[in-house]
């Protein structure tokens, strides 16, 4: 539980991503793994883009990866982010292959470097909602 | 085989409406006005037009995919009509399909049009393109993560691509700034340009961050307006009112973005694939190019496109542009109307329109003296789609 009420947008699962969001609550980063060729993918795609199989299973990822790229948002697009602007947003490349959008925590902006190793942090922002952020590993 | 298309078709007319913060007209008006101006420019009559290709921007055109523009103008002889969408790559792609149809006897004079009117007096340009940034809506599923982590708007996504390049190759904001400054220097010479005040590299660095590493002056303008071009057979074009801009080469490149390890479209775009076919069709080498009109939604787009066409080695785009060679008097005149950064933002019609003007030799103060081969590029999505045209004042 967070110490104070979390006021920024909270994502919700849809049918395709339920296990991903449930997994995050249990501090697991869950991916879909193709049952035919073993390629990992983020939820939401029904078909493996390599072998086109529609069969997949859920697999827990290591939670480790590297910072593929990042930006520092200065523009105030959304009122809920106004008091944390500027803030970083990032794309992490998981060791299993997929790239996922996130924020980097426990890191000063000037210390952010592309390709730096990072690991998942499970941020329980409200009851039943966990955001997977990453920190330097 | 593809070389048989070289010089068979030409741009015979162009129409550019009033552009920028122009209010009081809807998108359909801009499209119709651009078409009217293009037909007048070519010296054709509306009855001569037998093809219409439409590309819509962020504000809709009337009818399904904008096809009702036909009826707004009473174009009743169409043998070719459709709407296309590959983002900022579409303008050159429309010209490609028009040229292929004409070369095969399927049509005689095909109008290709783009119009958009996202600017309103009540809001800034950024609001028109902020995507999910506006309301509090969080889409369910994985796409909601972008909202949750605060990644809003197109600029945020190009910032990621630019940062990746900086991280890999040491590219700097000075390099991006050199592009912005060079294009402003061109814009000062163009009556079509929205931003004509002189700009220094200090001005660039002083402009506010939107999404770091991109400053405001790394970003394109947002414009209301419309541009139409007419593609005709080379034989027909040479007897019309304007000097033809012959179509020498055409290409597209769509590598896709799989968003996973090993995929690097952020720093290696479809331009290389697109270039290959276009240059082969035109029978030219890189050093034959006299003038570049490169899609420039952001400064970084120009830099990575120069690399992917091979003007410099991969990763050396920064040092390549830093000496000002893209600006007036430079070795590689690029975006001579100010581009989308300082001229006007009509998606792929911005580089295409200036490419036609330069090929014709009617660029006035900004005309590049040697303009035998003009390279035009288009880019759509987040570097997802690329298109190429090679234009020339000479039929062969």
Active site residue B345: yes
Domain boundaries, chain B: 2-119+221-392
Pick the CATH number of A15-136 from 3.30.70.120, 2.130.10.10, 2.40.50.840, 3.20.20.140: 2.40.50.840
Rounded alpha-carbon distances, angstroms, from residue B363 to A56, B68, B345, B353, B376: 58, 33, 18, 11, 16
Contacts 24+ apart (CB under 8 A), B119-128: B119/B20, B119/B21, B119/B22, B119/B23, B119/B222, B119/B223, B119/B224, B120/B23, B121/B23, B125/B221, B125/B222, B126/A75, B126/B153, B126/B155, B126/B210, B126/B222, B128/B58, B128/B222
Residue of B nearest to A97 (CA): B261
Contacts with A73 from chain B: Cβ below 8 Å: 150-152, 156, 211-212
Contacts with B266 from chain A: Cβ below 8 Å: 69
Chain A nearest-CA distance from B206, in A, is: 14
Residue of B nearest to A48 (CA): B258
> The pTM is what?
0.96
Report the pLDDT averaged over residues A85-93: 98
B334, B325, B324, B265: which is closest to B295 by C-alpha? B334
User: Which residues of B lie closer than 8 Å to A, measured between beta carbons?
Assistant: 126, 130, 133-134, 136, 138, 140-153, 155-156, 159-161, 163-164, 166-168, 208-214, 258-262, 266
What the block records as the tokens of B254 is 């769509």
Q: B interface mutation test: which of A101, A109, A134 has the most B CBs within 10 A? A: A101
Does the beta-carbon distance from A70 to B163 stay under 8 Å? Answer: yes
Name the residue facing A12 among B138, B208, B210 (closest C-beta): B138
Name the residue facing A10 among B138, B258, B260 (closest C-beta): B138
Does the beta-carbon distance from A74 to B209 stay under 8 Å? Answer: yes
Judge whether B163 and A70 are in contact, CB under 8 Å: yes
In percent, the amount of chain A with pLDDT more than 90 equals: 93
Does the beta-carbon distance from B142 to A44 stay under 8 Å? Answer: yes
Per residue in A53-77, pLDDT (tens digit) is 999 999 999 999 999 999 999 999 9
Q: B interface mutation test: which of A29, A37, A46, A69 has the most B CBs within 10 A? A: A69
- The pLDDT value recorded for residue B127 is 64
- The pLDDT value recorded for residue B2 is 62
Active site residue B158: no
Catalytic residue among B169, B246, B295, B344: B295
Rg from Cα positions in chain A: 16
Judge whether A71 and A101 are in contact, CB under 8 Å: no
Residue of B nearest to A91 (CA): B160
Name the residue facing A44 among B141, B149, B208 (closest C-beta): B141
Per residue in A21-65, pLDDT (tens digit) is 999 999 999 999 999 999 999 999 999 999 999 999 999 999 999
- The pLDDT value recorded for residue B132 is 45
Which residue is associated with the tokens 């034959």? B288
Confidence of residue A5 (pLDDT cuts 50, 70, 90): confident
Per residue in B101-140, pLDDT (tens digit) is 999 999 999 999 999 999 998 776 666 665 544 456 899 9
For every one of its 396 residues, what pLDDT tens digit does chain B have, with 9 covering 90 and above? 566 899 999 999 999 999 999 999 999 999 999 999 999 999 999 999 999 999 999 999 999 999 999 999 999 999 999 999 999 999 999 999 999 999 999 999 999 999 999 999 877 666 666 554 445 689 999 999 999 999 999 999 999 999 999 999 999 999 999 999 999 999 999 999 999 999 999 999 999 999 999 999 999 999 999 999 999 999 999 999 999 999 999 999 999 999 999 999 999 999 999 999 999 999 999 999 999 999 999 999 999 999 999 999 999 999 999 999 999 999 999 999 999 999 999 999 999 999 999 999 999 999 999 999 999 999 999 999 999 999 999 999
Does the beta-carbon distance from B138 to A102 stay under 8 Å? Answer: no
Look at domain B2-119+221-392 and name its CATH class.
alpha beta
Residue of A nearest to B135 (CA): A78
Confidence of residue A2 (pLDDT cuts 50, 70, 90): very low
Distance, in Å, from the CA atom of A134 to the CA atom of A114, rounded to the nearest integer, reads: 13
Chain A nearest-CA distance from B207, in A, is: 12
Report the pLDDT averaged over residues A104-131: 97
């Amino acid at each position: 539980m967070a110490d104070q009420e979390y006021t920024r947008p909270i994502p919700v699962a849809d049918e395709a991503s339920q296990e991903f969001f449930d997994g995050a609550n249990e501090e697991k980063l869950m991916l879909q793994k193709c049952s035919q060729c073993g390629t990992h993918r983020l939820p939401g795609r029904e078909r493996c883009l390599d072998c086109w199989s529609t069969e997949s299973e859920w697999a827990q990822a290591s939670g480790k990866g590297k910072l593929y790229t990042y930006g520092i948002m200065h523009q105030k697009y959304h009122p809920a982010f106004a008091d944390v602007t500027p803030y970083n947003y990032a794309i992490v490349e998981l060791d299993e292959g997929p790239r996922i959008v996130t924020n980097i925590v426990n890191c000063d902006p000037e210390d952010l470097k592309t390709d730096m190793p990072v690991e998942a942090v499970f941020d329980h922002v409200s009851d039943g909602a966990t955001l997977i952020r990453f920190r330097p590993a | 085989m593809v070389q048989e298309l070289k010089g068979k078709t030409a741009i015979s007319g162009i129409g550019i409406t009033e552009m920028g913060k122009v209010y009081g007209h809807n998108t359909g008006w801009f499209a119709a006005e651009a078409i009217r101006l293009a037909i007048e420019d070519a010296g054709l009559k509306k009855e001569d037009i037998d093809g219409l290709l439409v590309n819509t921007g962020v504000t809709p055109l009337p009818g399904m995919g904008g096809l009702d523009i036909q009826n707004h103008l009473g174009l009743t002889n169409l043998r070719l009509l459709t709407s296309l969408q590959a983002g900022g790559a579409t303008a050159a792609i429309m010209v490609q399909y028009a040229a292929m149809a004409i070369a095969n006897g399927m049509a005689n004079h095909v109008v290709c049009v783009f119009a958009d009117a996202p600017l309103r007096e009540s809001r800034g340009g950024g609001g028109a393109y902020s995507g999910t940034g506006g309301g509090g809506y969080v889409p369910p599923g994985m796409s909601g993560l972008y909202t949750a982590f605060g990644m809003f708007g197109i600029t945020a996504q190009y910032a990621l691509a630019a940062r990746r390049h900086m991280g890999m190759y040491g590219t700097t904001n000075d390099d991006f700034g050199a592009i912005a400054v060079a294009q402003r220097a061109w814009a000062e010479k163009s009556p079509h340009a929205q931003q004509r005040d002189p700009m220094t590299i200090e001005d660039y660095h002083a402009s506010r961050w939107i999404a770091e590493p991109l400053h405001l002056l790394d970003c394109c303008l947002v414009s209301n307006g419309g541009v139409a071009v007419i593609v005709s057979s080379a034989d027909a074009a040479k007897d019309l009112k304007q000097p033809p801009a012959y179509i020498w080469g055409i290409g597209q490149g769509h590598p896709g973005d799989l968003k996973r390890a090993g995929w690097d479209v952020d720093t290696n775009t479809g331009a290389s694939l697109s270039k290959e076919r276009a240059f082969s069709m035109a029978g030219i080498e890189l050093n034959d190019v006299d003038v570049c009109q490169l899609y420039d939604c952001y400064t970084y787009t120009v830099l990575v496109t120069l690399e992917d066409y091979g003007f410099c080695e991969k990763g050396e785009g920064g040092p390549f542009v830093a000496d000002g060679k893209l600006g007036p008097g430079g070795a590689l005149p690029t975006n001579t109307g100010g581009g989308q950064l300082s001229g006007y933002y009509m998606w792929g019609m911005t580089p295409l329109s200036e490419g036609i003007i330069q090929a014709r030799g009617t660029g006035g103060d900004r005309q590049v003296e040697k303009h035998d081969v003009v390279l035009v590029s288009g880019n759509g999505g987040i570097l997802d789609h690329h298109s190429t045209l090679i234009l020339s004042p000479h039929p062969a």
